Structure 1
Amino acid sequence: MIKHRRALAWLLGLACVAGAVIALFDIETPLRPLLISLFLLVVPGAAVVGLLRDRDPLAALSVGAAASLVVNVLLAQAMLQFDAWSPRAGVATIAVLGGFMYVLRVLYRGKNMQTEQGARAK
């Protein structure tokens, strides 16, 4: 079961990377709408779920899905408000925000791991 989940996570991650590359380099392919939409919906949600890993899984998934929609809608609203609509900029912004949340998660997990190791030593 764990191997299937890990394989699915890698497949989803590769599809998201492919969607970002397709959008940033303006590659024409029949899968373009699917892969770019997948990237825009999965990346912010996955980043938020990663920050909420110690919570109830259903609650974390619900918050992640809501956060993904909120981030995308707010980004689209801001781009329209400032008359700066650009699909490439939107994908790049989502990628940067997802990367920032990943760094926060790594820093947060690293801090917890150090305190757990210190507690075990005592």
Structure 2
Amino acid sequence: MIRHRRALAWLLGLACIAGAVIALFDIETPLRPALISLFLLVVPGAAVVGLLRDRDPLAALSVGAAASLVINVLLAQAMLQFNAWSPRAGVATVAVLGGFMYVLRVLYRGKNMQTEQGARSR
């Protein structure tokens, strides 16, 4: 079961990367709408769910889905408000925000691991 889950996560990650590359380099392909939409919906939600890993799984997924929609809508509203509509910039911004949340998750986990190791040695 863990192998299937890991394989699905890798497949989803590769599809998201392909969507970002397609959008950033303006590659024409029949899969373009599906892969870009997948990237824009999955990356922010997955980043938020990663930050909420110790919580109830259903609650974390719900918050992740809501955060994904909120991030995308706020980004689109800001680009329209400032008359700076650019699909490439939107994809790049979502990628940067997702990367930033991933770095926060790594830093947060590192902090927890150090405190757990300190507690074990006492």
TM-score range with shorter-chain normalisation?
over 0.9
Match of 2:102 in 1: 102
Partners of 2:121 and 2:15 lie apart in 1 by 42
Partners of 2:121 and 2:5 lie apart in 1 by 33
Q: What stretches of structure 2 of length at least 5 have no aligned partner?
A: none
Shift of 1:28: 0.2
Shift of 1:110: 0.2
Q: Secondary structure at the match of 1:119?
A: helix
Q: What stretches of structure 1 of length at least 5 have no aligned partner?
A: none
Q: Secondary structure at the match of 2:27?
A: coil
What RMSD in Å do the two structures reach over aligned CA positions? 0.3
- The runs of at least 4 aligned residues of structure 1 exceeding 2 Å deviation read none
- With structure 1 as the length reference, what TM-score do the two structures score? 1.00
- With structure 2 as the length reference, what TM-score do the two structures score? 1.00
Partners of 1:6 and 1:61 lie apart in 2 by 17
Aligned length: 122
Partners of 1:48 and 1:4 lie apart in 2 by 22
Partners of 1:22 and 1:119 lie apart in 2 by 47
Partners of 1:117 and 1:10 lie apart in 2 by 30
Shift of 1:121: 1.1
Q: Taking every aligned residue pair, what percent have the same amino acid on both sides?
A: 93
